[in-house]
Amino acid sequence: MSFGDYVYIVVLILFSYMTFVIIKNNFLSKFDEEQRRKDLVDEYEDDYISDKTEDSEDKD
């Protein structure tokens, strides 16, 4: 194999790795620490959570 073939293989591996890292980081940046989607966060979430806990206490 010539030198160009080795360079081509190295570039192909680096390109694949960079693509994987970019896609992975893009995916991970969409979630917060609690593994919830950042773009789907409800601004009234605290009210909803407190309502759910009150409902579960009423059922007991």
| pLDDT of 57 over the 60 cut | no
CB 48 within 8 A of CB 42: yes
Q: What is the number of structural domains in the chain?
A: 1
Residue range 9-54, pLDDT digits in tens: 999 999 999 999 999 999 888 887 877 787 777 766 666 665 556 5
Q: What pLDDT score does 21 carry?
A: 96
Q: What pLDDT score does 53 carry?
A: 60
CB 27 within 8 A of CB 21: no
pTM: 0.54
Give the number of other CB atoms < 10 A from CB of residue 45: 10
Q: Which residue range is the domain that position 17 belongs to?
A: 3-59
The amino acid that residue 41 corresponds to is V
Residues 6+ apart with CB under 8 A from 31: 37, 38
Residues 6+ apart with CB under 8 A from 39: 30
